[in-house]
Structure 1
């Protein structure tokens, strides 16, 4: 899944409903011009999206993008309880759709459920700046859903590799060796090297250089330091080597990033 196209999306929720249906509840057939993301907590309902019937029940998530023809009715014997979000993306006519099927089974995680409940409290309370806070919570919900969808295609990182990556990002300016990293997770250095490559597609050294160069770019673009100072700050004691590594990763020399 190409996650880059979702990086700059900012949702604008205009309707949120804690929907506890009566037995005769229904939504009339209509063309929607917004995104409908509905989480079913209890009961059952039949949704018709573009003429196709989808029966949803507890644990399901329904997604209907703009341009969908939607109608729905609850099951009389087991009325639906759901949380429904209707939203747009901020910006002019943003056409991006979320990468979800019309119905996703077993969406429910402890984190997402807690986020939805917090959103509900913020939205209903309507305290000062509630729209800002609710937007942030809903964006976190979308992030969690996208992460789950991405991990269905990309295996979840081995926790030992995740720990090594976190250590590198915290200590990128220091002289860290693969032996140090391996000791921190109780692995043989050779085995860690293979495991890290399998999980990330990079060697430990390549990942270290990537982290260092990304930080170097941020510092250079902020101004106030020259290339030599930034190289030293990011763990490179040889400016020429730093410049070569930077150019190989970014495609341009560090001097081009100077503010």
Structure 2
């Protein structure tokens, strides 16, 4: 699954509900002109999507695409509690998200924090809330798409890898090796290398070079620095190596930036 095809989509959440169903709760049968993304925290409900009966319960993520025929009612003995987002794309794009209608998806602490923060922003409706809410929802979608692309929510929630990535972003201009990073998270360097690749689909060195080259490109675009100065400031001691790495990642040499 290619995340890149989704990165220019901008969602407009027009309805968000911290849904605590009463026993007779239901959604009447109708074709929806929006996308429904629902996270079930407790209880159980029965959805009918394009004629298919589906049971959703705690730990499930429900995704119903625009244009679907939707109907639902909750289980009277165990009413559902869920967070539901109804949204449309802020363009004429008809692209659906690459999720099954029902996915077993225990909420990670990170995702739950994003959703709860979204809830606070949405309910308070302070000036600029729509922009802030949209940004939080994009973070939620990014995390979901990342998980879908790796097919491994457990590895992606590994706080040790997050700590290593943050350290690299903050210290990319310095000398960084896998042994030093391993000490930061109390892991064997070989094991950390394998875990990093499993989580990010890139080696530690590839990730480091991506961060360095992206920062180098920004500096060159802003002007005021020579290629040699930028290479040194971004952690490259050899300008020839820097040029080769830059071209390998960007497809053009650093000397062409800003032309």
- TM-score between both structures, scaled by the size of structure 2: 0.81
| 2:128 matched residue in structure 1 | 129
Distance in 1, Cα, partners of 2:161 & 2:140: 25
Across the aligned residues of Structure 1 and Structure 2, the Cα RMSD in angstroms comes to 3.1
Kindly state the Cα deviation for residue 249 of structure 1 after the two structures are TM-superposed. Answer: 2.8
Q: Given the superposition, is the C-alpha separation of residues 253 and 51 from structure 1 closer, same or farther in structure 2, using an over 3 Å criterion?
A: same
Secondary structure of the 2:216 match is: helix
Contact conserved, 2:161 with 2:196, CA < 8 A, in 1? Answer: no
CA distance in 2, matches of 1:46, 1:193: 43
Q: CA deviation at 1:87?
A: 0.4
Deviations 1:55-81 (A, max 9, x none): 122232211000101111222333333
Residue 156 of structure 1 aligns to a residue whose secondary structure is helix
Following TM superposition, by how much is the alpha carbon of 1:130 offset from its aligned partner in structure 2, in angstroms? 1.9
**Does the Cα contact within 8 Å between 2:38 and 2:83 map onto a contact in 1?**
yes
Residue deviations 1:173-230, cap 9 Å, x none? 23445665566666777x4796478546666555443332222112111222222221
Task: Provide the residue aligned with 2:209 in structure 1.
Answer: 209
- Aligned partners of 1:164 and 1:12: how far apart in 2? 33
Cα shift at 1:17: 2.3
Retained in 2: the 8 A contact 1:23–1:74? yes
Deviation, 1:240, is: 3.5
Q: Which has the larger radius of gyration?
A: 1
Counterpart check, 1:98 vs 2:97: yes
Q: Which residue of 2 aligns with 1:11?
A: 11
Q: What is aligned with 2:29?
A: 29
* Aligned pairs (5 A) from 1:135-154: 135-153=134-152
The structure-2 alpha-carbon separation of the partners of 1:56 and 1:218, relative to structure 1 and needing over 3 Å to count, comes to: same
Give per-residue Cα distances to partners, 1:25-65, cap 9 Å, x unaligned.
22221111100112223332211000000012223221100
- Looking at structure 1, the residues matched to 258 and 28 of structure 2 have their Cα atoms a distance apart, in angstroms, of 58
Q: Deviations over 1:100-150 (max 9, x none)?
A: 111122432333333333323322222222212222222222233233333
Native 8 Å contact 2:173 2:234 kept in 1: yes
Q: Distance in 2 between matches of 1:161 and 1:78?
A: 38
Change in 2 beyond 3 A, CA 1:77/1:95: same
- The aligned counterpart of 2:2 is 2
- TM-score when scaled to structure 1? 0.81
Question: Conserved in 2, the CA contact under 8 Å of 1:161 and 1:195?
Answer: no
1:252 is aligned to 252
Provide the C-alpha distance between the structure 1 equivalents of 2:183 and 2:41, rounded to a whole number of angstroms.
45
Match of 1:109 in 2: 108
